[in-house]
Structure 1
Amino acid sequence: MRRLAQAPNLALATLWADALRAQGLSVSVQREYLGAAAGQLPPDQCLPELWVEHDDDHARALRLLGALQRPPQRQWHCRCGEFVEGGFEQCWNCGAPMPGL
């Protein structure tokens, strides 16, 4: 097993692990509940971590995790007049899809 990364919270660690598993990687979340020990242990030692089971998958897992951590950022104007920015492909005002999709 090799460590991939620390996550800032358990929710993100779980989302990242699920996304990597969907790509066929065997990934586990460690230190899931160690946050309860914060104050007794250094805070940076209490964050959840992602680990990949097979060493051969480590490089691929890092690439996929990098893509998850840096989603594409877009800026576009919807036909309803709303300005949409971020990783959104749908207008939050009217629900229309981003032009070109």
Structure 2
Amino acid sequence: MQRLQIAPNLALATLWADWLSQSGFPASVQRANAVALAGSIPPDEALPEVWIEGEADQLDAARALLALLTAGPSRRWCCRGCGEQIDGPFEQCWNCGAAMPA
């Protein structure tokens, strides 16, 4: 087994492992309960990790797939309702609530 990625929380680690497993990369979450040790060990050692089974070439392919799955759409648009510039994956203006133009 090889470590693929450290996750910021258990929910994301589990989601990532499920996505990878369903895509043909058998994955598991390690250190799922290590957060209980936070304060006793360095914080970066208490985060959950996603591990995959396989060779180095599978590790690269799994990393590429995880990058695709976690990259949200990035948009830049101007709200027609209030003129606010919106950046990121948002489809609604945070200022006035207007929907992103089609």
Match of 1:20 in 2: 20
Match of 1:86 in 2: 88
Which AA in structure 1 matches 2:89?
G
Match of 1:61 in 2: 62
Which AA in structure 2 matches 1:86?
G
Where structure 2 has 5 or more consecutive residues not aligned to the other structure, the ranges are none
Match of 1:5 in 2: 5
Identity %: 46
| Counterpart Cα distance in 1 of 2:59 and 2:31 | 19
| Counterpart Cα distance in 2 of 1:94 and 1:14 | 34
Calculate the TM-score normalised by the size of structure 1: 0.74
Match of 1:72 in 2: 73
2:12 alignment partner, SS class = helix
How far 1:75 sits from its partner (Å)?
A: 2.8
Alignment deviations for residues 3-41 of structure 1 (CA, whole Å, 9 cap, x no partner) = 101011111111211221221210101000100011111
How far 1:52 sits from its partner (Å)?
A: 0.6
RMSD: 2.4
Calculate the TM-score normalised by the size of structure 2: 0.73
Match of 1:49 in 2: 49
1:66 alignment partner, SS class = helix
